[in-house]
Amino acid sequence: MLRRLAVKNFALIDDLTIEFTPGLNVITGETGAGKSLIVDALQVVLGRRAGGEAVRTGSEKAVLEAVFDVNTAATVAFFLHQEDIGLEDEYLIMWREVSAGGRSLYRLNGRTVPLSIYRTVGRLLVDFHGQGEQQSLLQESTHRELLDRFGGAPLLAARDEVKRLYDTWQQARQELEKLRSSERDRWRLLDSLNYHIKEIDKAQVRPGEDEELEKECLFLRHAEKIARLATEAYGLLYESESGQPTATDLIGQAASVLHELSTFDQELGEQVAALEGVLGQLQETARKCASLRERAAFEPGRLDMVEERLSLLRRLKQRYGRTLDEVLRYREEAAAEKERLLQAADRADELEGKVKEIECAWEAAARVLSRERRRSARRLEEEVARELAALEMGRVTFQVAFAPCAGPAAAGAEEVTFLFSPNPGEPPKPLARIASGGELARVMLALKTILARVDDVPTLIFDEVDAGIGGRALQAVAERLWKIGQDHQVICVTHAAQIACYATQHHHIYKEVTGGRTRTGVRVLSGEARIEELARMLAGKEITPLARQHAEELVLRARRVVTPS
């Protein structure tokens, strides 16, 4: 609900603040006083296009601020939460600055936001109805939503089921399309993975095998030298082909002599033991040299086999990893990816059946929704016809038309359009192409009267809804505006005293000249001042006692309607 509008340096407005209340707020004033400026200011503060011409002459910028109580506006609160815009004690401040150069700044609770977000919030808070400003009714995209809300719980439940099935169908279809679009790539990748896995498996790779083979290769490449040196060392240590005593022979002889000598000097016993230890080490070293000599006498072709194996392992490491451990890890990952791709192929077949199954379920649910919509459409047409008749528009035809959608959709199988024929014999056409401003405002008034309890836009603004009507029609318009005001905040610009007398709060717009400058002002009327304004609206500039009496009677009659005994 709009609590306050503050405007500075906008057109003829110098500095003006209007406090609004719940219920029906009316704005009146003489022709040219600036009533339309208030509506313009409301539209601009909510995001309507405005250039430098909107700035008051001599000023650098216009500043407009609207304060809303959004305590009961769940849709607005949800949108603000999604955009991470905080509320201050359930209040939202829409602030706009328009420079003389035509640039604008937009803020929500002090946070600068893009125009798109700013306008969306404005549309969620306020609906304009007047000369060319029936925004929601002229947008055919809103007609289906209005009908669905009118249909109530059974229709909304059917729509929710259609939406649920559509979302499930869309998700499955997108997953299927993704799988199908990548099918060729998937099979190409499968071929590649199969080749890699077979190549690694065929090689029968063992962790650390390359390090072992590198050592063996180094040994085999120097086998001749190793055999010669091992033979030479063996001969010096243990068994000489020349018959010369070996190191083992000499150490053994020395140990034997020292052992005999130790019987005379016991301290030599330790040295004998040491020599015997050295003798054992020499014998062990000789055995190792003999073993090396035997290893060096390898079978022919072994070196070629080792080098060929190393070459294979190097190729595998170049392709699949820096080490054999990484090659084996790649093989495991490739096998897992292969399994996933094979499952994806099975998943695609499964999804294809699931998509068809969900589509059939959606079609059944959409048929139920269509029946509910058509039932609600007939009821809405009847109720709107009764309301239009009360508004002196009994010759008008209002019709809800359906057109099929192409393929499954989240909101069902049909589009909904409100059609209107102002005269008998003329085929109904979309509202935007037929109705005049006043007619369209009254059609909206009829719809809003019926849909008041299910419409979640908190503030409705009616401009010139009384254009071209009088008598009982004005009385009917007034009563419906007041009735809508029980569920919404209504702001109505009017020339008709029959409407103004129903106001919860009455604002009077006036124009005055101060210091050689024209400015627009506003005052809240009550008591005698309000009677005086109603009398002026009835009689013009010359307010007669009869006009004043008529004004008092209007107020009393309105009071009886709004506070029945």
Residues shown for the chain? 565
Give the whole-angstrom CA distance, residue 521 versus residue 511. 6
Pair 448, 483: CB distance under 8 Å: no
Q: What is the chain's alpha carbon radius of gyration, rounded to the nearest angstrom?
A: 48
Could you read off the pLDDT of 162-172 as tens digits, one per residue? 999 999 999 99
Examine the pLDDT at 156 and tell me if it is beyond 80.
Answer: yes
The secondary structure element, H or E, covering residue 25 is strand 24-28
The whole-model pTM stands at: 0.64
d(CA 565, CA 554): 17
Least confident piece of the model among 237-246, 332-341, 432-441, 500-509: 432-441
Residue 56 near residue 11 (C-beta atoms within 8 A): yes
pLDDT in tens, 205-235: 898 888 888 887 777 777 677 767 877 677 7
* 3-state SS assignment for residue 196: helix
The rounded distance, in Å, linking the Cα atoms of 234 and 219 is: 19
pLDDT of residue 142: 83
Mean pLDDT of 393-404: 90
- Which range has the worst mean pLDDT, 86-95, 526-535, 552-561? 86-95
| Coil, helix or strand at residue 506 | strand
Which tokens hold the place of 10?
């906008």
Q: Rounded to the nearest 5 degrees, what angle is found at the Cα of 96, between the Cα atoms of 94 and 98?
A: 170
Q: What are phi and psi of 331, to 5 degrees?
A: -60, -40
Identity of residue 538: L
For the chain, count helices (H), then strands (E): 19, 15
The sheet carrying 13-19 orders its strands as: 13-19, 2-10, 61-69, 91-99, 104-108, 111-112
**DSSP letter string, 288-321:** HHHHHHHHHSPPTTHHHHHHHHHHHHHHHHHHH-
Average pLDDT over residues 392-402: 88
Closest CA to 482 of 371, 563, 384, 369: 563
Q: What is the overall mean pLDDT for the chain?
A: 86
> Which residue in this structure is represented by tokens 């000598």?
261
Q: Helix, strand or coil for residue 164?
A: helix
Classify residue 53 by its DSSP letter: G
**What are the two backbone dihedrals, phi and then psi, of residue 66, each rounded to the nearest 5 degrees?**
-125, 130
SS3 call for 422? coil
Please say whether the dihedral angle defined by the alpha carbons of residues 342, 348, 351 and 352, taken in this order, is positive or negative. negative
pLDDT class of 378 with cuts at 50, 70, 90? very high
What is the C-alpha to C-alpha distance for residues 289 and 230, in angstroms, rounded to an integer? 5
CA–CA distance from 277 to each of 272, 274, 280, 287 (Å)? 9, 5, 5, 16
Higher-confidence residue: 404 or 432? 404
Helix (H, G, I), strand (E, B) or coil at 458: coil
Identify which of 253-257, 300-304, 495-499 has the greatest average pLDDT: 495-499
State the virtual CA torsion across 409, 412, 414, 420 in degrees, nearest 10: -120
pLDDT band at 96; cut points 50, 70, 90: very high
- Give Cα separations from 465 to 405, 444, 457 (angstroms): 35, 10, 19
| pLDDT of 183 above 80 | no
Which residues, other chains included, contact 257 with Cβ-Cβ below 8 Å and sequence gap of 6+?
none
CATH of 1-130+464-525, one of 3.40.50.300, 1.20.950.20, 3.40.640.10, 3.30.310.50: 3.40.50.300
Least confident of 37-46, 51-60, 343-352: 343-352
Better pLDDT: 435 or 90: 90
Q: Find all residues with CB under 8 Å of 35, minimum gap 6, and list them.
A: 27, 28, 29, 493, 509
The closest of 549, 529, 527, 528 to 538, measured between CA atoms, is 549
Structure tokens that stand for 59 in this block: 């000023």
- The continuous run of DSSP H or E covering 564 comes out as none
Q: Which helix (H) or strand (E) holds 419?
A: strand 414-421
Burial of 29-61, coded b for 16+ CB within 10 Å and e otherwise, reads bbeebbbbbbbbbbbbbbbbebeeebbbeeeeb
3-state secondary structure 11-73: CCEEEEEEECCCCEEEEECCCCCCHHHHHHHHHHHCCCCCCHHHECCCCCEEEEEEEEECCCC
Domain chopping of the chain, boundaries: 1-130+464-525, 188-337
Residue type, 505: Q
pLDDT in tens, 9-45: 999 899 999 999 999 999 999 887 788 889 999 999 9
Rounded to an integer, what distance in angstroms lies between the CA atom of residue 328 and that of residue 314? 13
* 224 against 5, higher pLDDT: 5
